[in-house]
Amino acid sequence: MGTLESVPFNKLLLDESNIRISATNPERDAELKASILASGILQNLVVTVAPRGKRLVRAGGRRYRQLKALVDEKSIPKDYPVPCRVLDKNDNAEQAALCLLYTSPSPRDRG
């Protein structure tokens, strides 16, 4: 089932194959960014192990992008601790479940 870890933001890489392709909503993004700044990440990101000690963000791309914006603005440090569920790449059942979850886009993502 993976483990929960606090991963420094600068060790995270966004998985560009994330199926969530809906257009960004500047107002909702601003709300999420403000929420992260005020309360931190309330729902962990889902990651897998990547080379050189990095973690690949498989779920939570929108949260990742708002964290990146906060780092770029210097509102949070680049090593800001991010709660992550680290999946074992050998756990095929969990990977398959994650794949199913993200291959069934929400109505908003379908256009």
Residues 17-73: pLDDT tens digits? 765 666 778 999 999 999 999 999 999 999 999 999 999 999 999 999 999 999 999
Q: How far apart are CA 62 and CA 20, in angstroms?
A: 9
Q: Is residue 45 within 8 Å of 59, Cβ to Cβ?
A: yes
Amino acid identity, residue 54?
K
Backbone angles phi, psi at 43, to 5 degrees: -125, 125
- pLDDT at 97 exceeding the cut of 60: no
Residue 93 CA to its chain's centroid (Å): 20
Q: Closest Cα to residue 64, out of 94, 38, 89, 43?
A: 43
Structure tokens at 75: 């509102």
pTM of the entire predicted model: 0.78
| Tens digits of residue pLDDT in 7-29 | 999 999 998 876 566 677 899 99
